[in-house]
Amino acid sequence: MSSARMFLGISGSETLLIPSGRTFTESPIQFKREGRTASAKLVRDVIATKREFSLNYSTTTNEVKEQLETIFDLDATLNFRVERRDGSIDDFAVLMHPVESTRINAHGKWLHSVSTLLEEV
């Protein structure tokens, strides 16, 4: 799904995320209440199902890292817009986790391995 265009930012002024080297994972997260009855039977109520989005750039330039850190510094609920392969567009209200980065020296040039997590509000 890495070829899809993705935008992230304050609703109405989202920034196109740099696609080069990106992998994207979308996972459901269930919020549930569970316990055991007097007969020890497990019961579970699903309260809500939300999504978690992982953005990973394996080796990239400082530009991607700076772009993600600038968006994180907005410190607000963000709009994450994903253009699907079928042409549909999905918008999600998300909170962004801090950007994780590892520096890699490749033939005298510093590259980064960058990742962040977005959680649907």
* Per-residue pLDDT tens over the stretch 7-45: 999 999 999 999 988 999 999 999 999 999 999 999 999
DSSP 48-66: EEEEEEEEEEEEE-HHHHH
CA distance 47 to 44: 9
CA distance 28 to 57: 21
CA distance 28 to 1: 16
Residues 6+ positions from 90 with CB-CB distance below 8 Å: 81, 82, 84
* Per-residue pLDDT tens over the stretch 45-73: 999 999 999 999 988 888 999 999 999 99
Nearest to 23 by CA among 62, 63, 51, 64: 64
**CATH numbers and ranges of domains, the chain:** 6-120 (2.40.30)
Taking the model in full, what pTM does it have? 0.83
